[in-house]
Amino acid sequence: MTRKHWIAIGVVVVVLVLVLINLKAKGGKELTVQVEEVGRKDLEMIISASGSIKPKRQIDISASSIGKVTRVAVKEGDYVEQGQFLIQIDPIQLETTVDRLEAAVESAKAGERQARYQLEQYKSDLRRAERLFAQGYLTDKEVDDAKTARDVGASSLESARQLVRQQEAQLSSARHNLQEVTIEAEMAGIVTRLNIEEGEIAIMGTLNNPGTVLMTIADLSTIEAEVEVDETEVVSIEMGQSAKVTLDAFPDTSYSGIVTEVGNSPTLSSSVSGRQGVDFKVVITVLDTILNVRPGLSADSEIIAARAENALAIPIQSLTVRREKDLKGYAAKTDSATADSTAAKKDKESSDVEGVFVVVDGRAEFRRIKIGVSGQTHFEVVSGLEKGDKVVSGNYRAIRDLKDGQRVKITRKAAKK
């Protein structure tokens, strides 16, 4: 072997030694971390949403005919009973119409009576003609004429009856319209909106043009919070789940509620970036009494979408993700899977694994875990950990840089007993 060969071998050996020393130095470098012992906690998954409150039942009162408002008997904020008089629209024109149609009905009835009497006369004439024909005093044609007169009389009577029905129907409609201009409360409640004053003209609605909403009456005994929930969270909400509602008007008070409606149709909203956000309407029935409540007040809600009692729990910040290939012992595991193709191995190497770092004998070991309920500060651990395990809980930079098998030093500050 020549001198050049010995020099080359010596260079390779030196490089390998330096690499091994560097790797050993890295593997032995301690990283200061904070830990928390895995314990048991009661966890709640809370979904927050905003919206406004509204009464469970309210009605908008509109005009069913055009007319001048001559009297308004209530003001906004008044409590009204069912059947109480509210508004009067000028009835003169409708009263005139009713009087005219009442006269028309009487005239039609008189015509009906006349047609009935005429028909009776025609029937009597036909009977007499048939007797005379039997005695040979009348011809066939004279009897046929008597029958025709009777049939015409019967038709006239039926026509008179139809005219009476027609006039009575018009009179019934006119009387209904006359009753409608005297507006009474259809339900008991609070007048939450009053849009009309005496002297103004009330406009009735048409197919494509809504009429004037004269006032709104609301039953404030049952209040609902109507909130918008993001599409990623609405799938966790179900009927009957508990909730807490707070109002901007009363920030120091919260009210208990229950989910009574989960919308199936999305509501789209445009963001600054131009993308459409997809939300769903969720209705929460407030179980507590809200004093001095006003429909439309802004509301925030916290819906308890899931609960886990006495569950193994870890801090939210402890949960991290690592690539499969970066985990200790990965190469040995993949080499044993001889049936895997090269492409499958590459996919597995690049896949992400969710878990936490557990401190064991001064080193951080990565543990795959499965989480359940997501609380506000902790996750439920379904599998992968046991009570008393010390999981790395901070700081964020340490968790981000931590490697499987790395030596760690626990700070006393964050260790929990």
CATH of the domain at 339: 2.40.420.20
**Residue 35 sits in the same domain as residue 112:** no
Q: Give the whole-angstrom CA distance, residue 282 versus residue 47.
A: 11
Q: Give the whole-angstrom CA distance, residue 139 versus residue 132.
A: 9
**Residue 316 sits in the same domain as residue 406:** yes
pLDDT value at residue 14:
53
Instruction: Determine, yes or no, domain membership for 80.
Output: no
Among 180, 208, 223, the domain-final residue is 180
pLDDT in tens, 83-138: 999 999 999 999 999 999 999 999 999 999 999 999 999 999 999 999 998 998 88
Instruction: Determine, yes or no, domain membership for 197.
Output: no
DSSP E strands in 231-362: the ranges are 242-247, 250-270, 276-286, 298-315, 320-323, 352-360
Q: Give the whole-angstrom CA distance, residue 187 versus residue 194.
A: 16
Instruction: Determine, yes or no, domain membership for 238.
Output: no
- Backbone conformation region of residue 312, classed left if phi is above 0, alpha if psi is from -120 to 50, else beta: beta
Give the number of domains in the chain.
Answer: 2
Residue 401 backbone phi and psi in degrees, to 5: -90, -10
Take residue 397 and report the two structure tokens written for it.
């930079």
pLDDT value at residue 5:
55
Instruction: Determine, yes or no, domain membership for 274.
Output: no
Chain Cα centroid distance, residue 46: 17
Q: Give the whole-angstrom CA distance, residue 313 versus residue 316.
A: 9
Instruction: Determine, yes or no, domain membership for 262.
Output: no
Q: Give the whole-angstrom CA distance, residue 109 versus residue 163.
A: 8
**Residue 37 sits in the same domain as residue 123:** no
CA distances from 333 to 324, 338, 341, 345 (A): 11, 10, 14, 11
**Quick check: 32 and 414 in contact, CB under 8 A?**
no
Among 180, 195, 224, the domain-final residue is 180
**In the chain, which stretches have pLDDT less than 70?**
1-28, 205-211, 269-275, 328-350, 412-417
pLDDT value at residue 25:
46
**Residue 113 sits in the same domain as residue 174:** yes
Q: Which amino acid is at 50?
A: S
Range of the domain at 404: 28-43+311-410
**Quick check: 289 and 53 in contact, CB under 8 A?**
no
**Residue 35 sits in the same domain as residue 125:** no
**Residue 33 sits in the same domain as residue 113:** no
Among 180, 199, 234, the domain-final residue is 180
**Residue 334 sits in the same domain as residue 398:** yes
Instruction: Determine, yes or no, domain membership for 201.
Output: no
Instruction: Determine, yes or no, domain membership for 209.
Output: no
